[in-house]
Amino acid sequence: MAARVVTLTSGKGGVGKTTATANIGVALARRGHNVVVIDGDIGLRNLDVVMGLENRVVYNLVHVVRGAVDAERALIKDKRVPGLTLLAADQHSDKDDVTEDDMRDACEALRDHADYILIDSPAGIEQGFRNALAPADEVVLITTPEVSAVRDADRVIGLAEAAGKATPRLVVNRIKPSLVAKGDMMDTNDVFDILQIPVLGVVPEDESIVAATNRGEPVALQDSSRAGMAFHNMAARLDGEEVPFLSLEVVEEGLLARLAGAIRGGATHGGAS
């Protein structure tokens, strides 16, 4: 094995980077891969909580960087998904305690133990971002269809290219099909028009993400949710499969529509790509 290191980043905070990392990690592991997800947000650790592994963290990235423990021993196994492990961030250190070389070394140490290493980059474009970017073989750029998020994404594309990385692939998160249909939200094509980078996936706004995150259970653990499907499709595309982008239908609101949906045989109508 020689893992591909994929860094997930966004520029702007709060666009769903950590949730995407957790879910793409789950989805890749469910495809049979060995996956290490690394929380790159030193000082503000979140990925362990989103994955529901916060009570099992013993060692973290800073222990590995300081040589207190081998990288492999610091990994926390996700018992729900064989092959999925987490390297947590340190809550009490500072992002300047880790260097770009440290991140490269940590990834090198893990490369032979995994098929994929996913790094959840901190928001912003400072040292923490540069650390997360340094070991990346590939970059996945998460954005939401908002002016500020796409503006920041554009900046990150420039920085990634300046760092010698291949063009990032785009994930447009939290698309609300009903707002797009009304013309009150940019859709994936609009964002693509502007950023001009290949699209890895599109995630519809899905309330089940909130509930899943509350419970520490990434939605990709289940097969029923629209967002979960979207993450599974992204994992397949990372594997090189051509998965068609399904159109994001407007989810019908109201009792009649819901009844109609139930009669058609699914609570999960509306496509996710």
Partner 1 sequence: MSWLDRLIGRPERLKSSGAVAKERLKFVLEYDRAQITPAELDEIRDEIIESISRHVRVVRDDVEIKLEAGGRLVAEIPLDRTGRGDAAGGIG
- The binding site for partner 1 (CB under 8 A) comprises 145-147, 150-151, 154-155, 158, 179-180, 182-187, 190, 193-194
Question: Any bridge partners for residue 178, and if so which?
Answer: none
Closest among 165, 127, 139 to 41, alpha carbons compared: 127
What is the distance between the alpha carbons of residues 22 and 188, in angstroms, rounded to a whole number?
22
Three-class SS of residue 238?
helix
Q: Fill in the amino acid letter for 250.
A: V
What is the distance between the alpha carbons of residues 140 and 186, in angstroms, rounded to a whole number?
20
Q: Indicate the burial class of 217 (C-beta count within 10 angstroms; 0-12, 13-18, 19 or more).
A: middle
CB of 146 to partner 1, least distance (A): 7
CB of 160 to partner 1, least distance (A): 15
Residue closer to partner 1 by CB (options 147, 256) is 147
Three-class SS of residue 253?
coil
Residue closer to partner 1 by CB (options 15, 150) is 150
CB of 145 to partner 1, least distance (A): 8
CB of 180 to partner 1, least distance (A): 7
Residue closer to partner 1 by CB (options 54, 146) is 146
Question: Any bridge partners for residue 141, and if so which?
Answer: 9, 170
What is the distance between the alpha carbons of residues 30 and 216, in angstroms, rounded to a whole number?
17
Residue closer to partner 1 by CB (options 137, 146) is 146
Are 171 and 142 in contact by the 8 Å Cβ rule? The answer is yes
CB neighbour list of residue 249: distance below 8 Å, 6 or more residues apart: 177, 269, 270, 271
Residue closer to partner 1 by CB (options 179, 243) is 179
Helix (H) or strand (E) holding 52: none
CB of 231 to partner 1, least distance (A): 25
Residue closer to partner 1 by CB (options 147, 263) is 147
CB of 270 to partner 1, least distance (A): 19
Residue closer to partner 1 by CB (options 131, 144) is 144
Residue closer to partner 1 by CB (options 73, 151) is 151
Question: Any bridge partners for residue 172, and if so which?
Answer: 143, 202
CB of 190 to partner 1, least distance (A): 5
CB of 171 to partner 1, least distance (A): 18
Three-class SS of residue 5?
strand
- By residue count, the chain amounts to 273
- The DSSP code for 90 is P
